[in-house]
Amino acid sequence: MGRFTTVGVVGAGVMGTGVAQAVAQAGMDVVLVDTGDDILDRARRAIDEGLRMRRLLARDAVPGGDRAEIQKRIDYRTDLAALARADFVVENITEDMALKQGVYERLDEVCPPDTVFAANTSVISITAIGAMTGRPHAVLGMHFMNPVPMRPMVEVIRGHHTSDATVERGKALLDALDKEAVVVADSPGFVTNRVLMLTVNEAAFLVQERVAEAAEIDRLFRGCFGHRMGPLETADLIGLDTILASIEGLHTAFADSKYRPCPLLRRMVAAGLHGRKSGRGFYVYDHAK
């Protein structure tokens, strides 16, 4: 359909499943790659659940077909070589520079030279990711928001070498997903996470110092500022491991002590309290995802 036939999605965690669902329900074919069949089985169930929720929330008929038709467009694979036919790849693997490097080197080998790579990262430099490939002009950042199918906007990041044509292709994909793009320059954390991660980290300090409980902090942000979610609910949704990796990334990148990670956040991550996806973070959830 349209200008994209097959979109590769690497990483089938919280973000990758959301991106795969959004692309498939927009009518395009998806190759979704992760490291193991168990992870892909979980991703298939998460996408089924996402599609069920979408059906329940929609007042009118939803485009893209029924659940089975949309699932049929997603090819679940464990080998990056399956992306040889992708004309656009969205990478959503763990926020870890070394892991990302391995994936980009392999993508560069298996994908055609004009395939665009979009990095969905929280704070890693898009310029640095571009440098892991032989095609830095064809690499951009696409910072999707969680849950991907429901969020109308994406922060698009132009790396040092990203070409205008690549930015246009990124915008065209987002247009096909019915999402608006705001393009910003490359800087650690971009715009959204540079502000959000500081807010979450500071909120964690407030809990640690017993100034207020998590629920009171979130209530204040909802009631006083009209935010739909407070910072700690947002942190649980994002994943506290991803939050910690992001604040650590900002701390390293700027060498500024204002980004020092809150010790409580570190302890929670070490204890396996990763937020919604693990069933427990600042809040307790009924079912772990």
Give the integer Cα–Cα distance in Å for 157 and 128: 12
Which residue, 134, 98, 94, 99, is CA-closest to 114? 134
Asked if residue 166 binds ligand NAD (CB under 6 A), the reply is: no
Selected binder of ligand NAD within 11, 141, 261, 281 (CB under 6 A): 11
Selected binder of ligand NAD within 1, 3, 5, 35 (CB under 6 A): 35
**Residue number with CB closer to ligand NAD (121 or 166):** 121
Asked if residue 118 binds ligand NAD (CB under 6 A), the reply is: no
- 163 assigned to active site: no
Residue least distant from ligand NAD (Cβ): 13
Asked if residue 252 binds ligand NAD (CB under 6 A), the reply is: no
- 193 assigned to active site: yes
**Residue number with CB closer to ligand NAD (24 or 103):** 103
Say which residue the tokens 């979704």 belong to.
Answer: 32
What minimum distance in Å lies between the beta carbon of 129 and ligand NAD? 10
Selected binder of ligand NAD within 23, 31, 33, 51 (CB under 6 A): 33
- 122 assigned to active site: yes
As a 3-state breakdown, the chain gives helix, strand, coil percent values, each rounded to 5, of 50, 15, 35
3 state SS for 194-228: HHHHHHHHHHHHHHHCCCCCHHHHHHHHHHHHCCC
Asked whether the bond before 147 is cis by omega within 30 degrees of 0, the reply is: yes
Environment class of 146 (CB within 10 Å of its CB; exposed 0-12, middle 13-18, buried 19+): middle
C-beta of residue 84 within 8 angstroms of C-beta of residue 110? yes
Return the residues of window 124-143 that contact ligand NAD according to CB under 6 A. 143
- 251 assigned to active site: no
- Strand residues in 71-203 grouped as ranges (E): 74-77, 88-91, 116-119, 139-143, 153-158, 180-185
Q: Residue 32: which H helix or E strand, with range? A: strand 29-33
Asked if residue 21 binds ligand NAD (CB under 6 A), the reply is: no
Asked if residue 240 binds ligand NAD (CB under 6 A), the reply is: no
Asked if residue 99 binds ligand NAD (CB under 6 A), the reply is: yes
Asked if residue 103 binds ligand NAD (CB under 6 A), the reply is: yes
What minimum distance in Å lies between the beta carbon of 179 and ligand NAD? 13
Residues forming contacts to ligand NAD in the complex (CB under 6 A) are 10-16, 33-35, 39, 92-95, 99, 102-103, 120-122, 143-144, 146, 238-239, 242
- Which residue numbers are catalytic? 122, 143, 155, 193
